[in-house]
Every structure is written in structure tokens, then in C-alpha cells.
Amino acid sequence: MNFNATNGMEDMEDVSLFDDKLLKEVDFTQCSSTYNPPISPTDPGEDLLMRSLRLSDYDKGFMVLLKQLTVVGDVSREQFEARFNSMLSCKNGYYIVVIEDKTCNLVIGAATLAVEQKFIHECSSRGRVEDVVVDKKYRGRQLGKLLLDYLTLLSRHVGCYKVSLECKDPVVNFYSNFGFVKEEGQNYMCRRF
Ligand SMILES: CC(C)(COP(=O)(O)OP(=O)(O)OC[C@H]1O[C@@H](n2cnc3c(N)ncnc32)[C@H](O)[C@@H]1OP(=O)(O)O)[C@@H](O)C(=O)NCCC(=O)NCCS
């Protein structure tokens, strides 16, 4: 990789976390939501581009956007690159989809599908949707819905037998729009360190 210390990532060969052809491959007509005006992963709206996370998104406000979701802390370019490459090396394990506003070259929406490989269910996989966020200025434009619908269809497309997520009370209704339900008898348990 060609890294120029003075210009940072601008001069660096860019890398995508997953192949953008997956945006076309997933049959978006299968999603149950309605869009008015109509938008889709390949056409998310004027001046917007939906695509895989790229290494260069460190310079396009990706980490700043995540701060609207939770504590991010100070993450250097080197740390970002190391984590990105680690995710990349887990082949078909991480699909981080972003929406870029091409007028300002900033990432304004993002969501993650993490795929966990299993032995059960005939060596199937389960998907986990994580870190869904749309920049405050862009909310209410169906972009959260677009990210969620896309990742839900993608999880099926890549062979997951189920997809799940954890969320706070205020967004339960948001996620229930996409067929996510609180399953009876199932409990989310967590131990924090
Ligand atoms: C939740 C979030 C991603 C929604 O993004 P958005 O782009 O504003 O959502 P959309 O415009 O696509 O809304 C889609 C639908 O969900 C509804 N919706 C949006 N936010 C909602 C919420 N918090 N609770 C319930 N419904 C909600 C909208 O009214 C809309 O309904 P409609 O299709 O009937 O018109 C965004 O508010 C956000 O980033 N919040 C902060 C981060 C966060 O809480 N993420 C979830 C972490 S678990």
C-alpha cells in the first residue's frame, strides 16, 4: 500500500470493506417497506451514494458520525486502519454500509452487519445488525430505513439463518418496522467490563 505521510489517506490506494457489487446483487424489490419518494441502495437520493465503508472514510467523517451513536474516543488513523484491515481479513464477516453526501464528501449514514459463522444449523451463520446511525441533519429522509432494509436483505443474501439486534427503548418501534420482534422466552444478557 502506498502511504504518503504528508497527504495522509488522500494518496493512499483506497480499499473497500466489501464488494460494492453486493449493492446491486441484493434484490431490493423483496423489501416490505414502502419509499416515498422512491429510493434504493443504488439510488439513495440526489447527491447521495450508498456503498461499502472504505479506508478513506476516516477522512470523510465516519468516526465523527459514530459519535452521534455512542462513545467513540480518540481513534488515530493508524488504529482505524489496523481495525479496518482486521475486519477485512475476516472474510465475509463484516459488512459496513455507508451513505456519502457527494456535495461535501462526508459520510452521513452508516450501519453494520456482522456475520458470525456457526456449526449449528448445518454450518449456517447468524447476522447481527449494529451501529445504525444517520447524521442529525439527514434524519427523516428514509435513510435509516434504507440502511436497515438493505442490511436485513443482505443478511439473508449472504446465508444467515437469522439476524438480530440490540437496541434501546426509544428505537424499538423503529426496528419493529423491519420485522424485528422481541422473542418470547428469549433474554438479552450482558456483562460489561
Ligand atoms: C434511528 C435512526 C437511525 C433513524 O434514521 P432516520 O433516517 O431518521 O429514519 P427514517 O427517516 O428512515 O425513518 C423511517 C421510519 O422510521 C420512523 N422512525 C424514525 N426514527 C424513529 C424512532 N426513533 N422511533 C420510531 N420510529 C422512528 C420514521 O417515522 C419513519 O416512519 P415511516 O416510514 O412510517 O415514515 C436515527 O434517528 C439515528 O441515527 N438515531 C441516533 C442513533 C440511534 O439511536 N441508532 C440506533 C441505535 S440502536
Is residue 73 in contact with ligand 1, taking CB distance under 6 Å? no
Relative to the CA of 133, which ligand 1 atom is closest?
A: 39
For residue 42, give the nearest of 27, 61, 60, 62 by alpha carbon.
27
Is CATH 3.40.630.30 what the domain over 9-176 is classified as, yes or no?
yes
Geometric angle at alpha carbon 21, from 20 and 22, rounded to 5°: 85
pLDDT by residue, tens only, the chain of 193 residues: 444 333 445 555 799 999 999 999 999 999 989 999 999 999 999 999 999 999 999 999 999 999 999 999 999 999 999 999 999 999 999 999 999 999 999 999 999 999 999 999 999 999 999 999 999 999 999 999 999 999 999 999 999 999 999 999 999 999 999 999 999 999 999 999 9
Which of 97, 171, 173, 175 to mutate to test ligand 1, by most ligand atoms within 8 A of the CB atom? Answer: 171
Q: Is 109 within 8 Å of 138 (Cβ atoms)? A: yes
Q: Is 12 left (phi over 0), alpha (psi -120 to 50) or beta?
A: beta
Instruction: Measure the CA–CA gap between 160 and 164, rounded to whole angstroms.
Output: 10
Ligand 1 centroid to 157 CA: how many Å?
24
Query: 182 exposed, middle or buried (CB, 10 Å; 0-12, 13-18, 19+)?
Result: exposed
- pTM, 2 dp: 0.93
**Grid cell in block for residue 108:** 452521513
- DSSP label at 14? P
Ligand 1 centroid to 140 CA: how many Å?
7
Closest CA to ligand 1's atom 9: 144
Ligand 1 centroid to 12 CA: how many Å?
35
